[in-house]
């Protein structure tokens, strides 16, 4: 006999269509969105428009702040930190794992995963012991601490010591659950642009990362020889990042019209994603973007932010790192809308279920997912249904690989067994994306219970 919830259906109906209400709210889901820089969710932002590019955090609070969103910031589930080689390996073979361990633990306390980069040098911070090896170097500038030396990335000593350093980091951290990604930053100041490494040397240095990190996502630096080499290896855990987005250059200086100057946005990224073989990587590996300066610099240059944000969407980014600098008020609404689109944003467009079924019966469903984000998810979580009767719950995980849910519609059929433990009567049905049967990703569905499941409908158990 049909229970009360079915009274809206005719007695002859056997199938129900489920169309949950969508929400436009920001979803603080993992592995996507707004990233903090050299700090963690809730930490105060930088003052003004400048930022600390030199040294990541080396001391850490033992408690998370009461508020996980700093004044003027956005919610964040990803932190990004980078440290110079000399800070992490002050003596040969004596790596400051304690710094990186504490950074990962701190990110976890703040509800974040951590993206990492180790930088060969930034200022006068090459390891002193490496300088003492006599490896060739070139002075490229000065800073208050002294000359800035760039090592020859093609020298055997550099390749050997840097590769050993990366191997040690991979041995300790590859597959760490709180490590979101690790940058392939093998040469050059800040680890950007590949320094002076030739294609052959870059390939050897990039291979050190590929050998050390087989489970953790690697992000290669666009426009480098190492990026081309890593992309050609066709590894599913290799994505890419760009550090020069939003670089407004309005001064032709008599050489070109002011509005036709060279910049990364129009000259580099649209071309190099094809030249370096990463144009389609977003379908299986993530892309992270970072502005050349900050959005305050863009505002002062007089550029409209909307075209720049729309151009960024073409690369299907999952994470945007703004250096923990306040977003100008004039841009905040546009940036908020952009952040909502970053990475994945799954809505259950429609699902079919029978109105009634027996315990142990094979049930066929057709599901259509609407990914309203810019990219898929890259973690092997599972879509699941939960059948509830009173306080008893039965969870059915689908076989469908959610990493194939690209932007727009994905439709699939799934056949599952209705849990044998269900009793006669009404069973409430809800859905979630789970890891070990616990919800980890919120769908863009308005209703969600306290456990993170989205109520959908009911089903009569005969």
Average pLDDT for 364-391? 98
Q: What is the pLDDT of residues 75-112, one digit of tens each?
A: 999 999 999 999 999 999 999 999 999 999 999 999 99
Q: Look at residue 310 and tell me whether its pLDDT is greater than 70.
A: yes
Average pLDDT for 351-355? 98
| Beta-strand runs (E) in 253-381 | 287-291, 319-321, 346-354, 356-357, 362-371
Band the pLDDT of 453: cuts 50, 70, 90: very high
Q: Look at residue 249 and tell me whether its pLDDT is greater than 80.
A: no
Cα separation, 82 vs 183, in Å, equals 9
**Which residue bears the tokens 């920001």?**
26
Nearest alpha-carbon partner for 181 in 313, 86, 80: 80
Domain residue spans of the chain: 4-24+345-461, 33-341
CATH number of 33-341: 3.20.20.80
Helix (H) or strand (E) holding 54: none
Average pLDDT for 433-454? 97
Torsion, Cα 64 52 222 288, to 10 degrees, reads: 30
Q: Look at residue 1 and tell me whether its pLDDT is greater than 60.
A: no
Of 9-13, 68-72, 211-215, 299-303, the range with the highest mean pLDDT is: 211-215
| Beta-strand runs (E) in 152-211 | 179-184
Per-residue b or e along 84-99, where b marks 16 or more CB atoms closer than 10 Å to that residue's CB:
bbbbbbeeeeebeeeb
Tokens found for residue 290: 């970072």
Beta-sheet pairing, 319-321 with 287-291: parallel
Of 43-47, 139-143, 195-199, 291-295, the range with the highest mean pLDDT is: 195-199
**In the chain, % of residues over pLDDT 90:** 86
Q: What is the pLDDT of residues 220-237, one digit of tens each?
A: 999 999 999 999 999 999
Beta carbons within 8 Å of 79's beta carbon, 6+ residues apart = 35, 36, 37, 39, 40, 41, 103, 107, 110, 112, 113, 114, 115
Q: At the topology level of CATH, where does 4-24+345-461 sit?
A: Immunoglobulin-like (2.60.40)
Bigger pLDDT: 419 or 261? 419
Average pLDDT for 267-292? 96
Q: Look at residue 50 and tell me whether its pLDDT is greater than 80.
A: no
Cα separation, 191 vs 181, in Å, equals 15
Reduced to 3 states, what is the DSSP secondary structure of residue 5?
helix
Beta carbons within 8 Å of 435's beta carbon, 6+ residues apart = 379, 381, 382
Query: Exposed, middle or buried, 46 (CB in 10 Å: 0-12/13-18/19+)?
Result: middle
Beta-sheet pairing, 362-371 with 408-417: antiparallel
Backbone angle region of 165, left / alpha / beta, with phi > 0 → left and psi within -120 to 50 → alpha: alpha
Q: What is the pLDDT of residue 2?
A: 62
Beta-sheet pairing, 362-371 with 15-18: unpaired
């Amino acid at each position: 006999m049909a229970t009360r919830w079915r009274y809206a259906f005719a007695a002859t109906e056997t199938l129900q269509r489920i169309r949950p209400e969508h929400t436009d709210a920001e979803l603080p889901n993992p592995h996507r969105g707004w990233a903090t820089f050299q700090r963690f969710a809730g930490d105060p932002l930088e003052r003004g428009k400048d930022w600390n590019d030199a040294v990541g955090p080396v001391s850490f609070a033992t408690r998370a702040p009461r508020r996980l969103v700093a004044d003027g910031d956005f919610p964040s589930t990803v932190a990004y930190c980078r440290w110079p080689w000399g800070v992490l390996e002050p003596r040969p073979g004596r790596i400051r794992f304690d710094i990186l361990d504490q950074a990962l633990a701190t990110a976890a306390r703040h509800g974040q995963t951590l993206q990492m980069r180790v930088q060969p040098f930034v200022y006068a911070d090459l390891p002193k012991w490496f300088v003492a090896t006599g490896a060739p170097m070139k002075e490229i500038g000065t800073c208050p601490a002294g000359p800035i030396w760039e090592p020859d990335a093609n020298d055997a000593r550099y390749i050997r010591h840097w590769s050993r350093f990366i191997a040690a980091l991979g041995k300790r951290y590859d597959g760490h659950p709180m490590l979101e990604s690790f940058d392939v930053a093998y040469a050059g100041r800040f680890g950007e642009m590949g320094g002076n490494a030739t294609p052959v040397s870059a390939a050897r240095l990039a291979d050190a990362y590929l050998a050390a990190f087989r489970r953790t996502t690697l992000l290669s630096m666009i426009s480098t020889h190492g990026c081309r080499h890593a992309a050609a290896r066709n590894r599913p855990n290799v994505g890419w990042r760009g550090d020069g987005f939003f670089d407004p250059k309005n001064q032709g200086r008599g050489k070109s019209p002011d509005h036709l100057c060279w910049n990364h946005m129009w000259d580099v990224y649209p071309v190099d994603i094809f030249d370096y073989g990463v144009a389609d990587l977003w379908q299986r590996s993530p892309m992270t973007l970072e502005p050349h300066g900050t959005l305050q610099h863009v505002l002062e240059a007089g550029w409209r932010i909307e075209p720049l944000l729309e151009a960024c969407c073409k690369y299907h980014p999952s994470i945007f790192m703004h250096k923990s600098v306040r977003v100008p008020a004039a841009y905040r609404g546009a940036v908020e809308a952009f952040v909502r689109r970053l990475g994945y944003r799954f809505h259950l467009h429609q699902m079919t279920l029978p109105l009634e079924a027996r315990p142990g019966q094979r049930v066929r469903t057709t599901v259509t997912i609407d990914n309203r984000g810019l990219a898929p998810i890259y973690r092997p979580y599972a879509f699941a249904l939960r059948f509830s009767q009173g306080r008893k719950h039965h969870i059915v995980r689908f076989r469908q690989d959610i990493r194939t849910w690209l932007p727009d519609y994905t439709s699939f059929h799934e056949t599952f067994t209705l849990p044998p433990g269900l009793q006669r009567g009404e069973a409430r049905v809800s859905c979630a994306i789970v890891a070990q049967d616990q919800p980890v990703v919120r769908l863009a569905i308005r209703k969600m219970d306290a456990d993170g499941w989205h109520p959908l409908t009911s089903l009569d158990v005969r």
